[in-house]
Amino acid sequence: MLKDFSFIKEIPVFWRDMDAFRHVNNVVYFRWFKIARIAYFEKLGAFKPLPDTTIGPILVETSARYLKALTYLDTISVGVKSIHFSPEKIEQRYLIVSQRKNYACT
C-alpha cells in the first residue's frame, strides 16, 4: 500500500488518542500528519535554524478522508509523498495504514 510513498513514519496508537466512541479521535490524524511531515523534512535536511526575521513554512490547507477506524494498541505507518515541490509551494499526500489490520485508514 505504501510502495509509492517516499517516506514512511511508524507511530504507535496511544490510549490518549482514543475518544468516547472507543476509536481514534479525528483530530489525532492531523497530529500524525504533522509528525510524519516534520520527520520527512528533517530527513531531507529542510529544517535548519531560522533567523528571527525569517518566516518559515506555513500550512495553508489540510483535509482528510477517513476510511476505517483505528484503535488502541495498534501501530500505524504514515506514508508521505510530495506531489508538487517549488520554492512557493509544497503539496503532499499522506496515507495512514494500520499495521495490526493491514488496511488503509486515512
Residue-wise pLDDT tens digits, 85-97? 888 888 999 999 9
Within 8 A by CB and 6+ apart from 2, the residues are 8, 77, 79, 95, 97
Q: What are the pLDDT digits (tens) for 1-54?
A: 999 999 999 999 999 999 999 999 999 999 999 999 999 999 988 777 667 666
- Indicate whether 2 belongs to any domain: no
DSSP state of 17: G
Between 67 and 56, the higher pLDDT residue? 67
Domain that holds residue 69: 7-104
Domain count, the chain: 1
- Indicate whether 1 belongs to any domain: no
Q: For position 12, what pLDDT does the model report?
A: 99
Read off the CATH number of the domain in which 53 is found: 3.10.129.10
Q: For position 53, what pLDDT does the model report?
A: 65
Within 10 angstroms of residue 33's Cβ, the number of other Cβ atoms is 20
DSSP state of 49: P
- Indicate whether 91 belongs to any domain: yes
